[in-house]
Amino acid sequence: MLTKFQQKVYDAVRKIPRGKVASYQQVAIFLGKKYATRAVGQALNKNPFAPKTPCHRVVYKNGQLGGYKFGCRNKRQMLLKEGIKFNKNNRVLSKYFLKIK
């Protein structure tokens, strides 16, 4: 059974388009819970709808991949297939971050 917060996180993450990423912090801010970054990560770790709910598109604000239920190697591969590019330090380039207004 999902909590209301988990459902809100999954609904928000479904809005991240293919070829873009958002940070855990951006998702928390979008939900109006700017200090809930870890809670967003915990909710995504329990995501029963992956990859339909694309939690692989959520990364750290510095571009590092963060965790992924199916392993960071798979997360990176999925992002590469969506056209996301990485720098030499294996971080997502900033131009792929979703601009949240």
What string of DSSP letters covers 21-55?
Answer: BEEHHHHHHHTT-TT-HHHHHHHHHT-TTTTTS-G
For residue 40, count other CB atoms closer than 10 A to its CB: 28
User: Could you tell me how far CA 27 lies from the centroid of its own chain?
Assistant: 8
Q: What is the rounded CA–CA span in Å between residue 44 and residue 42?
A: 5
Question: Which of 55, 58, 59, 92 is an active site residue?
Answer: 55
Q: Is 72 a catalytic residue?
A: no
Catalytic residue positions, numbered: 55
